[in-house]
Amino acid sequence: MKFAVRESMAPGSTIRERFENLAKIGFAGIEIVGSSSFDCLDEIKAAQQATGITPHIFSMREGAILDARKEERDLAVRSIKDALTMCGECGGIGVIVPPLIQVKMQNRPRIPDLSPLAGTAKLEKDLLVEILKQEIAPHGESVGAAVIIEPLNRYEQWWPCTLAHGKEICEAVNSPGVAMMADFFHMNIEDADFGESIRDAGKWIRNVHLASSQRQTPGHGHTDFRPGLRALKEIGYDGFYTFECGVPGDDKLAELKRAAEFIESQAE
Cβ contacts of 131 within 8 Å, gap of 6 or more: 65, 73, 77
> Do the beta carbons of residue 160 and residue 172 sit within 8 Å?
no
Alpha-carbon distance 98 to 203, whole Å? 19
Say which CATH superfamily domain 2-267 falls into: Divalent-metal-dependent TIM barrel enzymes (3.20.20.150)
Structure confidence at residue 268 (pLDDT):
83
Among 33, 30, 24, CA closest to 257: 24
Structure confidence at residue 113 (pLDDT):
96
Alpha-carbon distance 53 to 212, whole Å? 24
Backbone torsion region of residue 160, taken as left when φ is above 0, otherwise alpha when ψ lies between -120 and 50, otherwise beta: beta
β pairing state of 178-183 and 29-31: unpaired
Alpha-carbon distance 255 to 218, whole Å? 10
Structure confidence at residue 221 (pLDDT):
87
Q: Where are the domains of the chain?
A: 2-267
Low-confidence ranges of the chain (pLDDT < 70): none
The predicted model scores a pTM of: 0.95
Among 21, 17, 12, 13, CA closest to 4: 21
